[in-house]
Amino acid sequence: MSTQGIDLAQARDVAHDFSGLSLTPANFHAFYTKVISLRFPMQVAHVLELRYLINHTVDQYKEPPLTPDYRQFRDSLQAAIDSFIDSQRHSERMLNILSMLRDIHYVHSIDSRNAEIRLREAMEANRMQHLKSIRYGLFFILAAVSFVIMWLTLGEPSIIIKLLPAGYSYFALRFFHKLPELDRNHEKLTLELNEVLRRRVRSINWKTLIHKLALVLGFKRVPGVEVFHIENEFENRETSVYH
């Protein structure tokens, strides 16, 4: 196998690795992007990891009451599920899994929006503090210059007039000294906000998600698509069938 082929195989293994990943609102972005981006065939170990993660989580999930909203959600996905899955038992299992993912995504969305609001408020407070430091710094500089001019125009200025320029300069320096730290905080908050927005799953592609999960969970077999394979030293992974 070429070096490029080895690199692609290693990258695919990392993308398929679900070990250490918990199915929670905080990790929903990682889980969803991994599942949506699955390329087949996968290693058996990765298939088993993903199956365990999904089944273990859904077994602990308490299905919500059959409210009109939840009934509408189930009905809206039933046609897509029926197009992939024939077994009624598997169909119900898939509906439970999708309901669980819907609830996790809902909490994920709320947490993401709350984090965005918190960061934007912090950025606004940082911006106001930045403007305040500049404004006060300029004020004390102008005050210091004014008293220096007064000092020069007066023949014998009092000791207070002599000391005030130094005091005002000190305060101006303190306010301007805050600016680099405020700039660093702005950059840090901007990076955190960009990361929150990057990791936000705005909507779910239910049809693709059903298709990927049905194959991984063994609810559906597609002719010509090998979901998993057992790797051996004679296998050329560059010739694998992708879907």
**pLDDT per residue as tens digits for the range 166-179:** 898 999 999 999 99
Whether residue 241 has pLDDT greater than 50 = no
Percent of the chain clearing pLDDT 90 (strictly above): 56
Task: Identify whether 41 is preceded by a cis peptide bond (ω within 30 of 0).
Answer: yes
Percent of the chain clearing pLDDT 70 (strictly above): 88
Whether residue 227 has pLDDT greater than 70 = yes
* pLDDT interval class at 232 (50, 70, 90): low
* Residues spanned by the domain of 228: 3-239
Whether residue 94 has pLDDT greater than 60 = yes
Whether residue 9 has pLDDT greater than 50 = no
- Mean pLDDT lowest among 42-46, 64-68, 111-115, 220-224: 220-224
CB atoms within 10 A of CB 189: 20
Whether residue 72 has pLDDT greater than 50 = yes
3-state SS, residue 42: strand
pLDDT mean over 186-210: 96
Q: Quick one: which of 213, 169, 234 has its CA closest to 55?
A: 213
Q: What is the mean pLDDT of the chain?
A: 86
Rounded Cα–Cα distance for residues 178 and 34 (Å): 43
Whether residue 180 has pLDDT greater than 70 = yes
**What is the pTM assigned to this prediction?**
0.79
pLDDT mean over 56-76: 89
Tokens encoding 79: 């046609």
pLDDT at site 19? 82
φ/ψ bin of 63: left (φ > 0), alpha (ψ from -120 to 50), beta (otherwise): beta
pLDDT mean over 108-123: 98
pLDDT at site 212? 93
Q: Which amino acid is at 164?
A: L
Number of domains in the chain: 1
pLDDT mean over 22-49: 92
CA 136 distance to own-chain centroid: 38
